[in-house]
Amino acid sequence: MTALALVGEPGATLVRLAGDDDILVVGRGARGPFSRLLRPSVRLHCARRARATLVCVRPPAFDTLLESLTVRDESPESAPDSRFRRLGRRLRLPL
């Protein structure tokens, strides 16, 4: 694995750097129509032009992320998810 920092269009740079035997992993997030006009999709650019194997990954849902962060403790004095319930209230999310 190698980390690089380059200047340029992200899609074109990733396609240029990814070889035939590489695996190219790109994220997939939700974007609105205005954002699509200003910045083209890196994922679609790589899917159309890359010779490497392409893997598109979605970000985990907030609930799944909270479940993975909680500590499962069987002792009655510790309330599971209490820290995350406070976080959800602060962020105004239903938990």
Distance of alpha carbon 16 from its chain centroid, rounded?
Answer: 22
pLDDT at position 55 = 93
pLDDT at position 24 = 92
Q: Which residues of the chain have pLDDT under 50?
A: 74-78, 93, 95
DSSP H or E segment with residue 56: strand 53-57
pLDDT at position 90 = 52
pLDDT at position 49 = 94
CB 25 within 8 A of CB 58: no
Q: Which residue has the tokens 């909270």?
A: 66
